[in-house]
Amino acid sequence: MKYGYFDDQNREYVITDPKTPVKWINYVGSLAFGGIVDHTGGALICKGDPALNRITKYIPQLPSSEFKGETLYLRSKQGHRYKVFSPYFVPTLDPYDLYECHVGLGYTRIVSEFYGIRTEVTIFVPLGDSRMISDIQMTNVSDHPMDIDAIPVVEYTHPDALKQFTNADWVPQTMQSKAYRDEAGMIILAQYPFMYKETRVNYFTSNRRVSSFESDRRRFLGDNQYGTWANPLSLQEEELSNCEALRGDNIAALLHHLGTIRPGETTRLITQLGQDESIEKALPLINRYRDAEQVERAFKEMAVFWDTYLSKLQVETPDASMNIMLNTHNPRQCHTTKNWSRYLSLYQLGLGARGIGFRDSSQDVMSILVSMPQEGKELIKKLLHVQKRDGSAMHQFNPLTMIANEGDSREVQDAPKYYGDDHLWIVLAITAYLKETGDLAFLDEVISYYEKDKDGHSLESGTVFDHVRRAIEFTQNNVGAHGLPLLGFADWNDTVNLPAGAESLFVANLYGKALLEMIELARHLGDAQAVAQYTAYYQTMKQRVNKHAWDGKWYVRYFDVDGSPVGSHSNTKGQIYANGQSWPVISGFAPPDRAKAALDAIYRRLNTRNGIKLSTPGYNRFDPAKGGITTYPPGAKENGGIFLHANPWVIIAETIIGNGDRAFEYCDQINPVAKNDRIDEFECEPYVYPQNILGDEHAQFGMARNSWLTGTASWTYQAATQYLLGIMPTYEGLQIGPCIPRKWDGFKVTREFRNAVYEIEVKNPGHVCKGVKSVKVDGRRIEGNVVAVFGDSKTHRVEVILG
C-alpha cells in the first residue's frame, strides 16, 4: 500500500505518493490520437503514428523530476514575488498536503492540494477525437481569498520524432508558432514545422481569456535557458511576452488571470491540445469543447464505451486479486496492446521504423475479440496486408504508411530475413476470430500480399483462406536437417539468433497448434481433403519432434546449424527453456508421460516466487554465435529473466494436462495486484503486467520493467478465461471446460457470445481440478459441454457441475 491502492468501485488505481520508483503511466485516446500520460502529468501525445506524427516532446530517459511534454503551473502573488507551483508535483516539486493520481479507464485524474488550493484535473481524449482535454477545477480550501493565475504549458516536438533527436540543425529552423484570435477574442496558439503549415497544425487553447502567451521555450524559462522548468523566470513577470516563435524549441504557454477565488469557491479552466489540417477547420470542434457541458458529455460517452467493453466478460471467482485483474485491468491492458502493439510506452519509444509488430499484434488481437470483434477483424486485415506471397510475414509495419520491414534481421548481414514464427500467429488469430463470431464469410475476403510494383500497386492478392494456407505451406516447406522448421532470424524469442540453417522447436510446436486449428476449421467447413492434408502434416511433424527433440529429460529448444541442441541438459548454459516444454503440450505433440515430465521440469528448474524464468542457467558472456540473448547479464530479460509473456503458456499447458492447482499457482504468483505490497522490489505499475522481471540469478531479483506493452496481457487473459475458467468459443458454441484449483467451490462468469448472454455458474462439489459431470442450460440438461449458439439477444443460464 505504500504508493497507492485499487479503487474497485471506480475501476481505478489511485497513486498516493508521487515518488514512485519509476514513472507510472496511463494511456489516453488511441493510436489515431492519444498517447501516454504519466502520474505527474507529463504527456507524450501523437496522431496516427508515434514515429511520424508526434506532438509533444517527452524524453523518458530524463530524471523523474523533470518536465516532460506537458504541465500546469498555478501562481499567486506573495509580496513582490509570485509563488509558482505545479499541482502535478513535477516539475516544481513543492511540498503537498494531498496528492492523488487516479489511473482510470481512458483518463487520468490528478487531485492535489498545495498552499490552500485544491486542484482536480481530468485528462482524457474524447472518443474518436483528435484532442486531449485537461479539465481543471481549482478550489480555494484556505480561509482567505486568493488571486490565482493558471499557466498550462506544452512542449512540442518535430513530428518526425527521431529527427528531433538526430538533427539539431534542420529541426529548429523549421519549427514555428502563431497566435490566432477567434471571433470571441479567444487565443489559439498554433504550431507546425514550416512544411506542414497549410496541412497539419497543432494547437493549444482554452475556454478562458488568455491575457498573454509564450511559444518560445528560451523566453519562457528565461536567462538564456538558465531559468529552469522548476522555476521558469518568465512566471515572475506580470505577463508573458506574446512571442510567436519563428524557430527553435516551441512551446505553448497560456497565462490566465483567474481573478479572486473566495474560500470554498471553485473555478474551472479547460484546455485542449489538438491537431487538425488548419485552425479554421478545427474551430467548430474547438468551440464545442470550450463548453464544460460538452466536455462532461464526452467524458460520459467514454465511460459508456468502457462499460460496454468490459461488460462482455465478467467473472466472480473465489480469488479477489484474480477478479480485479480479469474484470478491469487485464482486459484494459489487452485493449492497450491491441492499440499500440509494441509501439509506444516508456520502454518502447516509438522512434524510427519500429511500427506495429506482426507477431505481437496477431497475439494481442486474440484477447479483445470477445469485446470488439469488428476492430479485431480490421487489425487482422491490416496484418494480412504485410504478409508476403510465399506465406511468411514482414516483421513490423508503420501504421500510417503501411511500409513494412524485416525488423532487427536487417542489422545482421547474411542473416535470414524472416522470423520463423511470425506468419503462424495469424492463423491462430484468424481462427480465434472465426470461432468468436461465426463470420466464415471473412475467409473469402480478398486481401493483397505485401509485394508491390514500382508504382506501389500490389502484385498479388488472395482470399483470407489463401493467406492462412500459404502461412502453413511456408513452414511446411522451410525445414532443416531434422525436418524441423528453420529458425529464420529468430522465432518468438527475438534474442536467440543462430546461424542460418538452425531449427526451432518453438516454430515446430506453433506450427502444430496452427495445424490443429486448420484441421478443426476444415472439419467445420466439411473439407475432407484439407482435413486429411493437414492431419498428415501434423502427424509428420509430431513424429519428428518426438524422435529428435526429447533429450531424455525434457524437450530441447533449438538445433544449431551443426545439429547440436540448444536447451538440453547436455548444454552447460541455457539448459532448459520454458517454451521448449509448454509448447509441445499446447501443440498436442507431447505424449502424456513426456508432457508431465516436461512441465515438472519447469516447476523444478524454472519456477520462482516471482514467476517462471524463460531459461536457465543464464549465459555469462557475449557470444555472437548465440546472438542477442548473450548481451544480457544472467537473469535479465530473455537470458534467464522472468519473461512474463511465456508464463501463461505454461499455465495453459498445465490446464491441458489437468493440473489446476499448479496452473492457478502460476497465475497467482505473477498477478501484479499482489505486488502492490512489494513495490520497492517490483517498481512498476501494479495494475498491469510488465514484460519482464529480473530472475533469481540477478541481484535485483523481482524488479520489473517494460510495463504495459507486452504479449503477457493477451495470453494471461486467454489463459485465465479460456483455459483455467475454461470458457472457450468454438465453431459450434461456447465450450465450458474449466481446470481450476481443487480447493475452489466454483465460480461464476457472465459472457457475451454471438449476440446472447451466457450466465454461467460452475459448481465444484467434489473438489476436482477438471472434468465436467453435467451441464444444464436454462434448466435443461445437455449432452457434452458445448452450449449452443443462441444469437437471440437473450440471457441464458448455464449450470455446470464438475466431478
| Residue 490 CB, nearest approach to ligand NOJ (Å) | 7
Residue with cell 490446464: 655
Give the nearer residue to ligand NOJ in terms of CB position, either 638 or 799. 638
Q: What is the C-alpha to C-alpha distance for residues 592 and 573, in angstroms, rounded to an integer?
A: 28
Counting contacts by CB under 6 A, is residue 493 touching ligand NOJ?
A: yes
Check: CB of residue 678 under 8 Å from CB of residue 658. Answer: no
| Residue 691 CB, nearest approach to ligand NOJ (Å) | 7
Residues between 314 and 373 with contacts to ligand NOJ, criterion CB under 6 A: 342, 357, 359-360
Q: How many residues bind ligand NOJ (CB under 6 A)?
A: 9
Give the nearer residue to ligand NOJ in terms of CB position, either 330 or 493. 493
Counting contacts by CB under 6 A, is residue 422 touching ligand NOJ?
A: no
3-state secondary structure 122-168: EEECCCCCCEEEEEEEEEECCCCCEEEEEEEEEEECCCCHHHHHHCC
Give the nearer residue to ligand NOJ in terms of CB position, either 190 or 386. 386
In this structure, the number of other CB atoms found within 10 A of the CB of residue 138 comes to: 23
With CB under 6 A as the contact rule, the residue among 494, 517, 683, 697 that binds ligand NOJ is 494
| Residue 595 CB, nearest approach to ligand NOJ (Å) | 23
Give the nearer residue to ligand NOJ in terms of CB position, either 210 or 487. 487
Give the nearer residue to ligand NOJ in terms of CB position, either 188 or 393. 393
Which residue from 52, 204, 199 is spatially nearest to 134, judged by alpha carbons?
204
Could you tell me the three cell numbers for 475? 513452414
Applying CB under 6 A, which part among 30-38, 257-265, 493-501, 528-536 lies near ligand NOJ? 493-501
Q: What is the C-alpha to C-alpha distance for residues 75 and 55, in angstroms, rounded to an integer?
A: 27
Could you tell me the three cell numbers for 79? 509580496
Applying CB under 6 A, which part among 60-68, 442-450, 458-466, 491-499 lies near ligand NOJ? 491-499
Counting contacts by CB under 6 A, is residue 495 touching ligand NOJ?
A: yes
Applying CB under 6 A, which part among 95-103, 378-386, 489-497, 748-756 lies near ligand NOJ? 489-497
| Residue 165 CB, nearest approach to ligand NOJ (Å) | 22
DSSP-derived 3-state class of residue 20: coil
Chain centre distance of CA 76: 41
| Residue 629 CB, nearest approach to ligand NOJ (Å) | 9
In this structure, the number of other CB atoms found within 10 A of the CB of residue 66 comes to: 15
| Residue 81 CB, nearest approach to ligand NOJ (Å) | 50
Check: CB of residue 753 under 8 Å from CB of residue 312. Answer: no
| Residue 633 CB, nearest approach to ligand NOJ (Å) | 16
In this structure, the number of other CB atoms found within 10 A of the CB of residue 784 comes to: 11
Q: Is 135 a catalytic residue?
A: no
Taking CB under 6 A as the rule, which mask of x and - marks residues 441-480 in contact with ligand NOJ?
Answer: ----------------------------------------
Pairing, β 250-261 against β 146-155: antiparallel
In this structure, the number of other CB atoms found within 10 A of the CB of residue 299 comes to: 17
Check: CB of residue 577 under 8 Å from CB of residue 614. Answer: yes
Please give the residue whose beta carbon sits closest to ligand NOJ in the complex: 494
Q: Which residues pair with 255 in a beta bridge?
A: 212
Counting contacts by CB under 6 A, is residue 276 touching ligand NOJ?
A: no
Give the nearer residue to ligand NOJ in terms of CB position, either 124 or 489. 489
Instruction: Tell me whether the omega of the peptide bond preceding residue 624 falls within 30 degrees of 0, making it cis.
Output: no
In 289-329, which residue ranges form alpha helices assigned H by DSSP?
A: 292-311, 320-324
Applying CB under 6 A, which part among 130-138, 307-315, 490-498, 781-789 lies near ligand NOJ? 490-498
CB neighbour class for 449 (10 Å; exposed up to 12, middle 13-18, buried from 19): buried
Could you tell me the three cell numbers for 564? 547440436
- Per-residue CA distances from 129 to 210, 289, 298, 601, 791 (Å): 24, 11, 10, 51, 33
CB neighbour class for 453 (10 Å; exposed up to 12, middle 13-18, buried from 19): exposed
Give the nearer residue to ligand NOJ in terms of CB position, either 360 or 406. 360
| Residue 495 CB, nearest approach to ligand NOJ (Å) | 6
Which residue from 274, 468, 376, 362 is spatially nearest to 715, judged by alpha carbons?
362
Give the nearer residue to ligand NOJ in terms of CB position, either 322 or 670. 670
| Residue 61 CB, nearest approach to ligand NOJ (Å) | 20
266-269 — which CB contacts under 8 Å span 24+ positions?
A: 266/137, 266/138, 266/139, 266/140, 267/137, 267/138, 267/148, 268/135, 268/136, 268/137, 268/138, 268/292, 269/136, 269/138, 269/150, 269/152, 269/206, 269/207, 269/208
**Residue 416 main-chain phi, psi, to 5 deg:** -55, 145
| Residue 717 CB, nearest approach to ligand NOJ (Å) | 17
Give the nearer residue to ligand NOJ in terms of CB position, either 359 or 423. 359
**Residue 566 main-chain phi, psi, to 5 deg:** -120, 130
In this structure, the number of other CB atoms found within 10 A of the CB of residue 680 comes to: 11
Taking CB under 6 A as the rule, which mask of x and - marks residues 595-634 in contact with ligand NOJ?
Answer: ----------------------------------------
Applying CB under 6 A, which part among 208-216, 264-272, 306-314, 492-500 lies near ligand NOJ? 492-500
| Residue 263 CB, nearest approach to ligand NOJ (Å) | 53
With CB under 6 A as the contact rule, the residue among 38, 70, 638, 654 that binds ligand NOJ is 638
Applying CB under 6 A, which part among 68-76, 473-481, 487-495, 500-508 lies near ligand NOJ? 487-495
In this structure, the number of other CB atoms found within 10 A of the CB of residue 548 comes to: 20
Counting contacts by CB under 6 A, is residue 492 touching ligand NOJ?
A: yes
Give the nearer residue to ligand NOJ in terms of CB position, either 538 or 715. 715
Applying CB under 6 A, which part among 249-257, 274-282, 474-482, 488-496 lies near ligand NOJ? 488-496
Give the nearer residue to ligand NOJ in terms of CB position, either 545 or 644. 644
**Given the residues 494, 562, 623, 696, the one annotated as active site:** 494
Site residues for ligand NOJ per CB under 6 A: 342, 357, 359-360, 492-495, 638
Would you please indicate which residues are annotated as catalytic (active-site) residues?
494
